[in-house]
Amino acid sequence: MNREASQKSTGAVHMDHAHDSAVKHVTGEAVYVDDMLEPAGLLHVYFGTSDCARGNIRQLGLDEVKALPGVVAVITAQDIPGLNDISPTHTLDEEILCSGEIHFAGQPLFAVAAEDRETARRAARLAEIEVEEEPAILDVEEALARKSWVSEPQEMRRGDAAAAISAASHRLRGELRTGNQEHFYLEGQAAMAIPQEDGDMLIYSSTQHPSELQHLVAATLGLSDNAVTVEVRRMGGAFGGKETQAAQWALLAALAAHHTGRAAKIRLDRDDDMISTGKRHDFRIVYEVGFDDDGRIEGLDVELAARCGMSADLSAAICDRAMFHSDNAYYLPTARIRSYRCRTHTVSNTALRGFGGPQGMMGIERVIDAIAARLGKDPLDVRMANLYGDEGRNITPYHMEVKDNVLHELMPELAETAGYHSRRDAIDAFNHDSPVIKRGIALTPVKFGISFTTTFLNQAGALVHVYKDGSIHLNHGGTEMGQGLFIKVAQVVADAFQVSLDQVKITATTTAKVPNTSATAASSGSDMNGMAALNAVRKIQKRLIVFAAEKYGVASESIQFVDGQVLIGDTLIPFPELVNEAYLGRVSLSATGYYRTPKIWYDRKKARGRPFLYFAYGAAVSEVEIDTLTGENRIRRVDILHDAGRSLNPAIDMGQIEGGFVQGAGWLTMEELWWDDSGAIRTHSPSTYKIPVSSDVPEEFNARIWQPGKNREPTIHRSKAVGEPPLMLAISVHSAINQAIASLAPDRPLPALDAPATPERILMCIRSVTDNGGD
Amino acid sequence: MSGAIRFLLGNRLIEASDFDPQLTVLDWLRKNRHTGTKEGCAEGDCGACTVVVGDLAGDEIRYRSFNACIQLLATLDGRQLIIVEDLAQAGLHPVQQAMVDHHGSQCGFCTPGFVMSLFALYHENRPPGEQGIGRRQIDEGLAGNLCRCTGYAPIVRAARQALSVPADDHFSQAREQTVASLKQIQPTECLELEYENRSFFAPRSLDELCVLLAQHPDAVMVAGATDVGLWITKQLRVIDTLIYTANVTELQTLAIDKQSACLEIGAAVSYTDAMGALTDVYPDFRPLLARLGAVQVRNAGTIGGNIANGSPIGDMPPPLIALDARLVLRGIHGQRTLDLEEFFIEYGRQDLRPGECVEKILLPLPSAGQQFRAYKLCKRFDQDISAVCAAFALTLDKGTVASIRICYGGMAGVPARAREAESTLHGQSWTQAGLDGAMSALERDFEPISDWRASSEYRMIAAQNLLQRFFLETTRDEPVHLQAGAAT
């Protein structure tokens, strides 16, 4: 890790620092929404939902709900003074409370506010609901057949892929399905609304997007944005699941507070949270590829069909990102990428770490493995042969130049340190002698585009105050969900002022300090907020320098901030002293900072542009074993080399790398969501939906940050975003499992293992490639 | 209102009365502003609410972790409850410090639960030194705690650091004082709590229990509440009368009866307590037991409960039936004994009469040459519910099957023997050819259902292949399945 700077007491960047709340986490003192001191007279809100996937409400019988002692208010769609809509992209297709048409099983129909939470939950189950059911569209096939979309199909094109494929010496077709994923943030959705004077509303919410929630509360209550304040100190995990999905519940609390004049809190039970909030999109990926004798792709045609659920939510951008990553790290001389955004009568799928990128990458990595199997080559050789290269082989299907590719160095280094080639031979030997247990290994890369692909979202703000005693108050638009954003931005501020980190007070995100922020998402948190905070610091420093230059009669160039002090000519004075002098000299010690990501643009209609400022890279080698009798599987060893640029905080970034990988491995192996034929989800709790536990992580788990890493673009201290990219390193696990299955039938085409690779899918896939299948 | 419980919260004596007997420890804590303990799932599957309970064991205290979300407050009578806020005193507790040192928290919401699980491990008997605790032991100790941020690697590192030294903290230093305090609050007679129309009894003898059952035929018996807890937190059921069985002395029986050559397991013996005795008798029981629930569930849950609730997917009935266990039932009119397999009549229906309870399980000791294995299949290796659970007990006589009992969970509405497969094998030589016939016979034994855990097709193929695995493992020297936890 980058520890070379650790000698300097004030050099707060490029150093390991513990999460700012680490001590509060381990002592239980860290406060989450449900832990806050409760205002007197607090009401508790819950909600009743639809059992059926599609239909019309004939009658919403709420008499028994209202009659339960302790119930204070019951709220329906008719009780919403403003707009009954939570669609984040103004598609007006997702109601807070159903006004008549039911679009999925689990859709909120009404809310109830009661004196305690148990009463509210109990009352919410007492409604008598008459529904005229209608046939529901539940899967991608039916949605495709009926052209049921949440947004229009998109196509991305470069060259004539069809011609290139038909002219190629080799051609392959295939299909792959990737499953949903539940976020499983440990802290469920929660919010508290406290009415203020003038009908204003103060909201505490576990949300990644305070500004959007502020606007939605205002729109729902018929207020202007300035009447609503949203504050969030921290979330107990989010992963994209609190980007849009936190709003509905906060709005129910706000409505209850609005109607009763009392503070109101809502906290979802885990099962209800899993039933009524969105998940990662499941995809059906169909491809056709043409390639040469070396395995180099000449043309790729890929069709991505995503199950978006009942509303658009963020699906358009998610499906766009799946298209943007259908190349992963590989040059496609010709490509046609089509995307279908299927509307189904299931919960609306949403952002989840990677945001469509993982699904897009799964497709192309399967293509590479299939090419290698066809040609009898080591898949790593085929990967290397197809990597983006120099001029002539560096244009993406969306016509962006790839200028910062580091995989030609990073992948061989990883292959070497992980012993990829010798282990591959050892695995062949093991498989030869082991009839029941089979092993597989795979090395897969990640190239992940950094920036919101919706260009206008790439802006951020910060607010920095320096108080008379020299202590610093830091605020910015980013939210803390565990990723370590707050400590990273504080490091940037401490480094810029050259003061110790503990002089920087980290404060809760609030719309009252920094307005019009974007969601903390797209891995952009420290890139954007770090820059915005630095910008604010620079403003204050500039004022201090002007002041000091005049007061001490020195040139401003001879003033420097060093090690808790300020060097003014030959005089060193403590930072707090200069600050106090500046205050007495009537200098403003507070500044806002602002940042917008430069260079990016995208023309969505033409599918052309530079949607990303840069790419983050990494690669992983995973070795697995499977039991061919049962399909059970274990990860034996993982080696990761990841490019975090010049890491702001290697310890924090390592946490993202290890944690992202394991979350990705869960998505691709054991995590399976299951809907019954009526469209009801039946895996809505940790007893039926299994995320990885400690024993799923191999003893040999060697993750490293790539030492030469340095962002080619002038990002904050040349670091790189690291929130999402490592999740996709886990594609190596799925690929390795498929290799283990392939060892059973070396002369056949690559097995078509879908995801998640549960024991059942693995066993059925084994039977499809061996004679055991019978048919 | 009548009745009260007394327990230590850390080292403070708490006397609680006038509370709903359905109140969970978690809700009580949070209502009293002890908000360090979190609710993650309210069903005992995520561990965010993990607390440690200290129980008097002679002149020692035995610390074990529990899920506070489904643990009833009333069950704390006479015990010590330790929560995350109790750990740091002058500075952080060693397990907390290790979590900070190794960046073991990110969002922090699961962290108090992990800290408490590590605290329980810290107080477990273990050899000191870096090599003192193995990875599998750490994994087993943490299998009941979900973390979505860290990928567990830093938490395992923290565990290694904290568990490399012998336990020495303010709890071990205050042991004598705590023992004395606990002795003063040990219940001596049947606890009775009344609240509005609800009552809670904690009888101390089997006779008391039988009388209560006769008086309250609709009462719900509860021990670990790993099932009943969910009736409360998820179904919002109102239970008028709860009878807590874990304090009934006779139901804690765990001993070998030489005369009948049986291990007697009282119905309220927790999995954790039973594990030692069961694996002494049947070492091949351990891999299954170590994957049943997680440590918090095994500390609370009981083998009797796993049988009495009649679930078709409980992991204890298949191995116990394969081993020809019998069940002793007890009511006010006396005792009766039946074969365990006869207890399960059909889905949701057991041979348990009103006023009757499960008293104990009689597990025969292994006969000479008997081979036994129990396997479970699920999506996740640890702390998952079986899609298929299979148990096999085989005795060969010169290569011929002298006896074989095969029992599956997850293949029918009740845990059920594969009688067709058994009879195909009986008296035949133990060979692949003979086995093929038995594997086909399983298709006559079972018509499994499809659900979220597995399809009907997978269940059948997997059930057949587990028989195949058993054959391979009894005819070869090495195991033919994936090993628990991390490979090396």
Q: How does DSSP assign A263-327, residue by residue?
A: -EEEE--HHHHHHHS--BPPEEEEEEEEE-TT--EEEEEEEEEEEEESS-TTHHHHHHHHHHTSS
The alpha carbons of chain A give a radius of gyration, in whole angstroms, of 27
Q: Determine the Cα–Cα distance for residues A737 and A51; give it in Å rounded to an integer.
A: 38
Asked whether residue A772 falls in the same domain as residue A634, the answer is: yes
Q: Which residues contact B48 (CB under 8 A, 6 or more apart)?
A: A186, B37, B38, B39, B40, B41, B109, B110, B112, B113, B145, B146
Residue A132, pLDDT > 80, answer: yes
Owner of token pair 């009833």: B72
> Which residues in chain B have their CB less than 8 angstroms from residue A692's CB?
151-152, 380
CA torsion sign for A524, A529, A532, A537 is: negative
Tens of pLDDT, residues A426-443: 999 999 999 999 999 999
> Which residues in chain A have their CB less than 8 angstroms from residue B142's CB?
693-694
Residue A242 exposed, middle or buried by CB count within 10 Å (0-12, 13-18, 19+): buried
A32 touches chain B (CB under 8 A): yes
A653 touches chain B (CB under 8 A): no
Total tally of structural domains belonging to chain A: 2
Q: Determine the Cα–Cα distance for residues A572 and A581; give it in Å rounded to an integer.
A: 14
Mean pLDDT in residue range B177-198: 96
CA torsion sign for B483, A685, A723, A306 is: positive
Asked whether residue A648 falls in the same domain as residue A733, the answer is: yes
Question: Could you please report the per-residue DSSP string of B366-405?
Answer: PPTTEEEEEEEE-SSSSS---SEEEEEEEEEETTEEEEEE
Residue A327 exposed, middle or buried by CB count within 10 Å (0-12, 13-18, 19+): buried
> Which residues in chain B have their CB less than 8 angstroms from residue A184's CB?
146, 148
CA distance B485 to chain A (A): 5
- Kind and range of the H or E run holding B442: helix B432-445
**DSSP letter at B72?**
B
Higher-pLDDT residue of B402, B485: B402
Domain end marker among A562, A596, A630: A596
3-state class (DSSP) for residue A748: coil
Residue of A481, A624, A694, A699 to mutate for B, most B C-beta atoms under 10 A: A694
> Which residues in chain B have their CB less than 8 angstroms from residue A242's CB?
none
Measured from the Cβ of residue B339, the count of other Cβ atoms closer than 10 Å reads 12
Contact A634 B487 (CB under 8 A): yes
Cβ–Cβ < 8 Å for A264, A106: no
Q: Which of A35, A482, A629 sits opposite B106 (nearest CB)?
A: A482
Catalytic residues of A: 724
Mean pLDDT in residue range A160-189: 98
Q: Determine the Cα–Cα distance for residues A164 and A291; give it in Å rounded to an integer.
A: 9
CA–CA distances in Å: residue A104 to residues A269, A347, A679: 19, 6, 8
Measured from the Cβ of residue B175, the count of other Cβ atoms closer than 10 Å reads 13
Provide the pLDDT confidence category of residue B484 given band limits of 50, 70 and 90. low
- Peptide bond between residue B94 and the one before it cis (omega within 30 degrees of 0): no
Domain range enclosing A537: 459-596
Asked whether residue A482 falls in the same domain as residue A572, the answer is: yes
Phi, psi of A239 (to 5 degrees): 60, 25
Residue A2, pLDDT > 60, answer: no
Please give the pLDDT value at position A5: 37
Residue of B26, B27, B149 to mutate for A, most A C-beta atoms under 10 A: B149
Provide the pLDDT confidence category of residue A394 given band limits of 50, 70 and 90. very high
Q: Which of A654, A697, A760 sits opposite B458 (nearest CB)?
A: A760
> Which residues in chain B have their CB less than 8 angstroms from residue A688's CB?
385, 452-453
**DSSP letter at B413?**
S
CA distance B137 to chain A (A): 10
A188 touches chain B (CB under 8 A): yes
Strand-pair partners of A266? A45, A191
Tens of pLDDT, residues B82-115: 999 999 999 999 999 999 999 999 999 999 999 9
Q: Which of B92, B107, B461 sits opposite A481 (nearest CB)?
A: B107
Provide the pLDDT confidence category of residue B485 given band limits of 50, 70 and 90. low
CA torsion sign for A239, A520, A34, B52 is: positive
Q: Which of A28, A687, A700 sits opposite B43 (nearest CB)?
A: A687
A713 touches chain B (CB under 8 A): no
Q: Which of B108, B465, B483 sits opposite A630 (nearest CB)?
A: B465
- Closest residue in A to B464 (Cα) is A629
Measured from the Cβ of residue B18, the count of other Cβ atoms closer than 10 Å reads 12
Kindly state the percentage of chain B with pLDDT values over 90.
92
Please give the pLDDT value at position A6: 37
Please give the pLDDT value at position B478: 78
3-state class (DSSP) for residue A643: coil
Provide the pLDDT confidence category of residue A7 given band limits of 50, 70 and 90. very low
CA distance B348 to chain A (A): 20
Q: Nearest Cα to A709, choosing from A19, A14, A16? A: A14
A70 touches chain B (CB under 8 A): no
Contact A19 B103 (CB under 8 A): yes
- Closest residue in A to B456 (Cα) is A760
Kindly state the percentage of chain A with pLDDT values over 70.
98
Q: Determine the Cα–Cα distance for residues A504 and A498; give it in Å rounded to an integer.
A: 11
Residue B208, pLDDT > 60, answer: yes
Contact B96 A26 (CB under 8 A): yes
Tens of pLDDT, residues A479-496: 999 999 999 999 999 999
Q: Determine the Cα–Cα distance for residues A32 and B109; give it in Å rounded to an integer.
A: 8
A41 is a domain residue? no
Contact B107 A184 (CB under 8 A): no
Residue B486, pLDDT > 60, answer: no
Asked whether residue A669 falls in the same domain as residue A717, the answer is: yes
Burial B420-454 (b: 16+ CB within 10 A, else e): bbbebbeebebeeebbeebbebbeebbebeebbbb
Phi, psi of B9 (to 5 degrees): -105, 105
CA–CA distances in Å: residue A10 to residues A14, A20, A501, A581: 11, 16, 7, 22
Residue of B19, B148, B470 to mutate for A, most A C-beta atoms under 10 A: B148
> Which residues in chain A have their CB less than 8 angstroms from residue B136's CB?
695
Residue A461, pLDDT > 70, answer: yes
Tens of pLDDT, residues A551-565: 999 999 999 999 999
Q: Which of A118, A183, A699 sits opposite B488 (nearest CB)?
A: A699
Contact A691 B383 (CB under 8 A): no
As a whole number of Å, the end-to-end CA separation of chain B is 59
Q: Determine the Cα–Cα distance for residues A593 and A459; give it in Å rounded to an integer.
A: 11
Mean pLDDT of chain A: 96
A301 touches chain B (CB under 8 A): no
Contact B452 A674 (CB under 8 A): yes
Domain end marker among A596, A628, A654: A596
Asked whether residue A486 falls in the same domain as residue A548, the answer is: yes
A526 is a domain residue? yes
Residue type at A656? Q
> Which residues in chain B have their CB less than 8 angstroms from residue A660's CB?
151
Please give the pLDDT value at position B476: 87
Q: Determine the Cα–Cα distance for residues A295 and A623; give it in Å rounded to an integer.
A: 23
Please give the pLDDT value at position A196: 98
Q: Determine the Cα–Cα distance for residues B329 and A323; give it in Å rounded to an integer.
A: 64
A431 is a domain residue? yes
Domains annotated on chain B, with CATH = 5-85+175-244 (3.10.20.30), 94-168 (1.10.150.120), 250-475 (3.30.390.50)
Q: Determine the Cα–Cα distance for residues A31 and B238; give it in Å rounded to an integer.
A: 32
Please give the pLDDT value at position B132: 66
Residue of B27, B103, B453, B472 to mutate for A, most A C-beta atoms under 10 A: B103
Cβ–Cβ < 8 Å for B435, B468: yes
**DSSP letter at B482?**
P
Residue type at A419? G
Mean pLDDT of chain B: 95
> Which residues in chain A have their CB less than 8 angstroms from residue B156's CB?
694, 697
Asked whether residue A521 falls in the same domain as residue A659, the answer is: no
Quote the tokens at residue B389: 């659970």
Please give the pLDDT value at position A775: 39
3-state class (DSSP) for residue A603: strand
Residue B137 exposed, middle or buried by CB count within 10 Å (0-12, 13-18, 19+): middle
Q: Determine the Cα–Cα distance for residues A490 and A496; give it in Å rounded to an integer.
A: 10
Measured from the Cβ of residue A526, the count of other Cβ atoms closer than 10 Å reads 33
Asked whether residue A629 falls in the same domain as residue A767, the answer is: yes
**DSSP letter at A391?**
T
As a whole number of Å, the end-to-end CA separation of chain A is 54
Q: Determine the Cα–Cα distance for residues A221 and A75; give it in Å rounded to an integer.
A: 13
CA distance B409 to chain A (A): 16
Contact A694 B154 (CB under 8 A): no
Tens of pLDDT, residues B393-443: 999 999 999 999 999 999 999 999 999 999 999 999 999 999 999 999 999
3-state class (DSSP) for residue A482: coil
Strand-pair partners of A201? A195, A228
Domain end marker among A534, A566, A596: A596
Mean pLDDT in residue range A631-635: 98
A387 is a domain residue? no
CA–CA distances in Å: residue A150 to residues A247, A678, A679: 20, 21, 18
A642 is a domain residue? yes
B326-331 and B357-364 beta bridge pairing: antiparallel
Q: Which of A28, A234, A693 sits opposite B146 (nearest CB)?
A: A693
C-alpha torsion A83→A89→A93→A99, nearest 10 = -20
CA distance B24 to chain A (A): 12
Phi, psi of A707 (to 5 degrees): -60, -40
Asked whether residue A638 falls in the same domain as residue A770, the answer is: yes
Asked whether residue A721 falls in the same domain as residue A626, the answer is: yes
A187 touches chain B (CB under 8 A): yes
> Which residues in chain B have their CB less than 8 angstroms from residue A183's CB?
148
A585 is a domain residue? yes
Provide the pLDDT confidence category of residue A735 given band limits of 50, 70 and 90. very high
3-state class (DSSP) for residue A190: strand
Contact A693 B143 (CB under 8 A): yes
Asked whether residue A443 falls in the same domain as residue A469, the answer is: no
Task: Kindly state the greatest CA–CA separation across chain B.
Answer: 70
- Helices A650-668 + A731-742 axis angle, to 10: 40
3-state class (DSSP) for residue A43: strand
Asked whether residue A635 falls in the same domain as residue A585, the answer is: no
A324 is a domain residue? no
Contact A764 B454 (CB under 8 A): no
pTM for this structure?
Answer: 0.97
Mean pLDDT in residue range A82-95: 96
Please give the pLDDT value at position A608: 96
A237 is a domain residue? no
Contact B451 A22 (CB under 8 A): no
Q: Nearest Cα to A227, choosing from A77, A82, A46, A88? A: A82
Please give the pLDDT value at position B2: 61
Asked whether residue A621 falls in the same domain as residue A756, the answer is: yes
Q: Chain centroid to CA A312: how far?
A: 17
Q: Which of A21, A25, A682 sits opposite B452 (nearest CB)?
A: A682
Please give the pLDDT value at position B133: 82
Here the CATH number for the domain that contains residue A749 is 3.30.365.10
Contact B107 A234 (CB under 8 A): yes
Q: Which residues contact A714 (CB under 8 A, 6 or more apart)?
A: none
Contact A625 B142 (CB under 8 A): no
Mean pLDDT in residue range B328-340: 95
Contact B236 A122 (CB under 8 A): yes
Tens of pLDDT, residues A527-544: 999 999 999 999 999 999
* A 756-775: CB under 8 A from B: 758-760, 763-764, 767
Please give the pLDDT value at position B487: 40
CA–CA distances in Å: residue B294 to residues A212, A262, A694, A712, B121: 40, 42, 12, 48, 13
